[in-house]
Chain A
Amino acid sequence: MTQTAIQFDRTFKRFSRGKRVRTLAELVLGWPRRLLQKRDAGGLLEHEFWAINDVSFEVRKGEMLGIVGPNGSGKSTILKLLYRILRPERGHVRVQGRVGGLIELGAGFHPYLTGRENVFINGAILGLSQRELREKYASIVDFAGVGEFMDLQVKNFSSGMYARLAFAVAAHARPDVLLVDEVLAVGDNAFQMKCYDWLAKQRRQGLTVVLVSHNLYQVGASDQCLYLNAGEVVASGSPQEVIARYQTELAASLVSRVVTAEGQRGMRIERVQLLDGAGHEISALGHDEPLRVRLFYDCPQPLTSPVFEFALIHDDVRFPLHVPNHHLFCAFSASAFQDVTLSGKGVAELSLDAMRLPTGIYRAKVTLFERDYASPLFVLDGAARIEVNHAPFSDGRALIDCRQAWSLPVEAKVS
């Protein structure tokens, strides 16, 4: 029989946006005013809001619950309620067994104490006995991979070493329910892999997990998923469905959020048109088909040597390739319009051959520079959207895909 590990029963948590009474002086002086304050029908004062508004869910033992939602939607508040750091105003939160968190790593680490001393203190805070800690000490140090530094004060640790040691202690606390809040992004790649392996192993051994993450690939591995917005459950159920819904709403909010840096001297790109080879406006593109881009500019004053940039940005936060200062795809006119002067309204056209972009939905970002392209005259992010269709050649296994021919040439045959 499967047992319930976590039960959230019609839970409400109230937060205050305004300033709270923080001194005895205020308490005494503000007393008459507070008497006059009235709670509204929902039980809220003027500056208050429900950070968690009537949330219910259940997690069975050994399951993983993934929570998604925009910033401020109440994800971390749920973890804090589960961790008993916060108490709900209404409703019940029940958790079976020991709760452990990869929430705030290294709580209680003291900079002036050595790594060794901190392991024993942090471990005690996480609920381990000193005897357990002595038994597990070697394993903790080994996991963190900071063996030779354990007698050093942690203020001299690098941030990576600090985080690894903190993770190692938390990993040895043997909780029944593990709360994870975006912390697996700790240390270098090798250590991150170790953390994921550790988590996967714990799950196989029946650990119940609640995971809050913006990395939807991680959340996708959960058994059930909760989509929160403004403290309320928008959707819950299978991770595929919930994430798809979150994706759609997120993408919609992204495209409506058109970012413009208002043109200097009134320079603007008014509209961006995406056309296929035949000149028809399109919203989907075969991954190896040509694309024509038309930029409708408006230059109230003459602009000499303009430079256009057209970038395509993968509009799916799940997409794992985001490199700072680089676009997945970008076309840059550089000196193509050297000494050309634009005046009034007109169109600049860009022809692109098969770009072979990874499948997905992209948004276009266009930028207009002057000759030295130091600072942009105009930026428009989210000017257009286009979906790049699935390329069938490698069965969806490749980000970069192309038509391919395989053979066994005669001369390569093994006799």
Chain B
Amino acid sequence: MIADLREVLRYRELVMTLAMREVRVRYKHAVLGLGWAIAMPLSLMLVFTAVFSRVAQVNTGGVPYALFAYVGLVSWQLHANIVNNGARSLSDNSNLVTKVYFPREVLPLAAVVSALFDFAVAALLTGALMAWHKVPPGAGLLLVPVILAVQLCLGTALALMLSALNLLYRDVQFILQVTMMLWMFASSVVYPIPASGDLAWLAWVNPMTPILDAWRSAVIGGALSLSPAFGVASLFSAAFLIASWRWFRRVEGAFGELA
């Protein structure tokens, strides 16, 4: 395990290079260029703002809905990009997998890094939105690295597992599309999941809800505390990452034949 980690670390430059290749190719042809990374969550935020502040009311606990939705959408977007691009990373690069040797983790990891790039661009706008709504930043910002680390653990675990599964079984990507959509609506992305009542269990079985809630309480609320559910989600994500990576290592020998 340690030797494996060392090998992956030796290839960190390749991870960065491939991630930058992804980013370059993605923005080279987009009309908006880098703006695309913002346009995506921004437009979704506007749609959901129109729906939930005019048509149906949701209780955001006093937070301006636009800000509530934007923070949720940006971090969900990060998660979705990691999972979706990560799942495709091996099959899209089958010409590399069948032709050159390097630790196969490099490809899903590069997908994680390139998703982080979009996330960083989109996150910049959060500051502007907070200033617009006169929400002052608080000490909670110190928790950002912790929350991000937990979310990345979860996302990377899924990216590793799904990239291999997607190579083994071609119908995984269709199942994934549906699952990701359902997952988004089962998480507190654009509306809060109530902490009590019939649906309270959703926050405990779905690690994304405590993660999304943690983002909001830290960034918008400025609170320097994390919920017990977030603790559970952290432990789960770390364990999942280790299990997923070990499994990836076990099956990667066959990738050269499958891709």
Contact B172 A24 (CB under 8 A): yes
Contact A112 B170 (CB under 8 A): no
Which residues from 198 to 215 on chain B have a C-beta closer than 8 Å to any C-beta of chain A? none
Contact B17 A112 (CB under 8 A): no
Contact A125 B100 (CB under 8 A): yes
Contact A85 B13 (CB under 8 A): no
Contact A112 B257 (CB under 8 A): no
- Chain B contacts for A21, CB-based, 8 A: 169
Does A71 reach chain B (CB closer than 8 Å)?
no
- Chain B contacts for A87, CB-based, 8 A: 253-254, 256
Interface string of A159-182 (1 = CB under 8 A from B): 000000000000000000000000
Partner among B14, B98, B172 whose Cβ is within 8 Å of the Cβ of A125:
B14
Does A23 reach chain B (CB closer than 8 Å)?
yes
Does A371 reach chain B (CB closer than 8 Å)?
no
Which residues from 116 to 170 on chain B have a C-beta closer than 8 Å to any C-beta of chain A? 169-170
Contact B100 A107 (CB under 8 A): yes
Interface string of A18-45 (1 = CB under 8 A from B): 0011111101000000000000000000
Partner among A84, A85, A117, A130 whose Cβ is within 8 Å of the Cβ of B98:
A85
- Chain A contacts for B169, CB-based, 8 A: 21-24, 27
Does A266 reach chain B (CB closer than 8 Å)?
no
Contact A85 B171 (CB under 8 A): no
Does A113 reach chain B (CB closer than 8 Å)?
yes
Does A121 reach chain B (CB closer than 8 Å)?
yes
Contact A86 B256 (CB under 8 A): yes
Contact A126 B253 (CB under 8 A): no
Given contacts A86-B257, A121-B17, contact A23 B25 (CB under 8 A): no
Shortest CB-to-CB span from A329 to chain B, Å, is 42
Given contacts A27-B169, A85-B101, contact A124 B256 (CB under 8 A): no
Interface string of A67-90 (1 = CB under 8 A from B): 000000000000010011111000
- Chain A contacts for B257, CB-based, 8 A: 15, 86
- Chain A contacts for B17, CB-based, 8 A: 120-121, 124-125, 130
Q: How far is the CA of A20 from the CA of B152 in the complex (A)?
A: 33
Does A127 reach chain B (CB closer than 8 Å)?
yes
Shortest CB-to-CB span from B27 to chain A, Å, is 11
Chain A: interface residue total (CB-CB under 8 A): 32
Does B102 reach chain A (CB closer than 8 Å)?
yes
A-B pairs under 8 A by CB, number: 76
Does B29 reach chain A (CB closer than 8 Å)?
yes
Does A210 reach chain B (CB closer than 8 Å)?
no
Contact B100 A24 (CB under 8 A): no
Contact A23 B102 (CB under 8 A): no
Contact A104 B99 (CB under 8 A): yes
Partner among A24, A108, A113, A129 whose Cβ is within 8 Å of the Cβ of B171:
A24
Contact B101 A83 (CB under 8 A): yes
- Chain A contacts for B54, CB-based, 8 A: none
Partner among B14, B99, B175 whose Cβ is within 8 Å of the Cβ of A85:
B99
Does A103 reach chain B (CB closer than 8 Å)?
yes
Given contacts A110-B25, A113-B24, contact A126 B256 (CB under 8 A): no
Does A101 reach chain B (CB closer than 8 Å)?
yes
Instruction: Select the residue from A27, A99, A101, A121 with max chain B CB neighbours within 10 A.
Output: A121
Shortest CB-to-CB span from A48 to chain B, Å, is 12
Contact B99 A107 (CB under 8 A): yes
Q: How far is the CA of A15 from the CA of B258 in the complex (A)?
A: 11
- Chain B contacts for A104, CB-based, 8 A: 95, 99-100
Does B21 reach chain A (CB closer than 8 Å)?
yes
Q: How far is the CA of A99 from the CA of B254 in the complex (A)?
A: 19
- Chain B contacts for A107, CB-based, 8 A: 95-96, 99-100
Q: How far is the CA of A87 from the CA of B250 in the complex (A)?
A: 12
Contact A113 B100 (CB under 8 A): no
Contact B99 A103 (CB under 8 A): yes
Contact B25 A101 (CB under 8 A): no
- Chain B contacts for A108, CB-based, 8 A: 18, 21, 93, 95-96, 100
- Chain B contacts for A20, CB-based, 8 A: 258
Does B6 reach chain A (CB closer than 8 Å)?
no
Which residues from 26 to 51 on chain B have a C-beta closer than 8 Å to any C-beta of chain A? 28-29
Contact A84 B24 (CB under 8 A): no
Which residues from 354 to 408 on chain A have a C-beta closer than 8 Å to any C-beta of chain B? none
Contact B13 A130 (CB under 8 A): yes
Shortest CB-to-CB span from B206 to chain A, Å, is 22
A-B contact pairs, 9 of them (CB 8 A): A24-B171, A85-B100, A86-B257, A87-B253, A87-B254, A87-B256, A101-B100, A107-B99, A130-B17
New A-B pairs, 17, CB < 8 Å, besides A113-B25, A113-B28, A124-B17 = A15-B257, A22-B169, A83-B100, A85-B99, A86-B256, A87-B253, A101-B100, A108-B18, A108-B93, A108-B96, A112-B28, A112-B29, A120-B17, A124-B14, A125-B96, A125-B100, A129-B13
